[in-house]
Amino acid sequence: MAHHEVERFSAGARLFHWTVTITAIVLAITGLFLWVPAFGSLAEDSYSRIIHRVAAVILVAAPLLFFISRPGRALHFVKYIFTWGKDDIEWLKAAPDYYFGGDEKKMPPQGEMNTGQKLWSLVAFLSVIGFVVSGAIMWFAKASIPAELFLWVTIIHDLCFIVSASMTLVHLYLGAIHPRMTESLKSMLKGKVSVEYAKHHHGKWYAEISKGKETDNKQAPSTH
């Protein structure tokens, strides 16, 4: 297989992915300190708050940098994750059978992102916006907004966390643990997947890239 590989993620995309990943983990952990009283002592002396804020700045900065450096790609991604079609519905219907039983019969061929990945990207995208907006209010506007409103803003932050944390588990599982997703993690580490894997999991995309010779430009963004 090593001889037949296609590039799936560029170095920049991977850097972006892992930056965000690490940041998100840091944010999640430092945020968790405020969820889990048993971890409360770890939040001592506000260190976790400071780290959380530094990470938050990176989380905001990373997509912005990505957008500035590769605006076309970024726009494409946004457009992509908001574009849903019939295939996506089909995919969602077929997915349980596939992921439990490996039954591929009903799976429609997928583009550079399959529906699941698209869904994850969408959740991630929206929850980051939710995190950033609510977080910014909590950070900068605490003194100027009514106490009651502040508490509701924290709830938005928390809701974002519940949703994104749950989805992160799924993402992590499918990307790294699910028995059938053998090359997913590798692709994000090394950037390449085997032709076989590409055909199998992203038929439409493979067809596109092998037909049009468009290589890097149309790589899938940083998600699985």
The residues of the shown chain that bind other proteins, judged by CB under 8 A, are 33-41, 43-46, 48-50, 53, 99-102, 142, 147-148, 150-152, 154-155, 158-159, 161-162, 165-166, 169-170, 173, 177-180
Q: Which is nearer to other proteins, 49 or 218 (CB)?
A: 49
Give me 36's structure tokens: 């889990």
Report the nearest approach of other proteins to the CB of residue 164 (Å): 11
Q: Which is nearer to other proteins, 47 or 82 (CB)?
A: 47
Nearest one of 129, 50, 94, 33 to 137, comparing CA atoms:
129
| Cα–Cα dist 224/211, whole Å | 22
Report the nearest approach of other proteins to the CB of residue 70 (Å): 32
The amino acid present at 116, given as its one-letter code, is G
Compute the half-sphere exposure of residue 165: CA atoms within 13 Å on the CB side of its CA: 14
Q: Which is nearer to other proteins, 48 or 222 (CB)?
A: 48
Report the nearest approach of other proteins to the CB of residue 26 (Å): 15
Q: Which is nearer to other proteins, 45 or 68 (CB)?
A: 45
The amino acid present at 21, given as its one-letter code, is T
Q: Say how many Å lie between the first and final Cα of the chain, rounded.
A: 20
Q: Which is nearer to other proteins, 65 or 154 (CB)?
A: 154
Q: In angstroms, how far is CA 220 from the centroid of its own chain? A: 12
Report the nearest approach of other proteins to the CB of residue 11 (Å): 30
The amino acid present at 31, given as its one-letter code, is G
Report the nearest approach of other proteins to the CB of residue 49 (Å): 6
Q: Which is nearer to other proteins, 49 or 192 (CB)?
A: 49
Q: In angstroms, how far is CA 73 from the centroid of its own chain? A: 16
Q: What are phi and psi of 100, to 5 degrees?
A: -85, -50
Q: Where are the alpha helices (DSSP H) in 179-218?
A: 184-190, 195-201, 203-212
Q: Which is nearer to other proteins, 6 or 119 (CB)?
A: 119
Report the nearest approach of other proteins to the CB of residue 71 (Å): 33
Report the nearest approach of other proteins to the CB of residue 184 (Å): 14
| Cα–Cα dist 32/40, whole Å | 9
| Cα–Cα dist 184/193, whole Å | 8
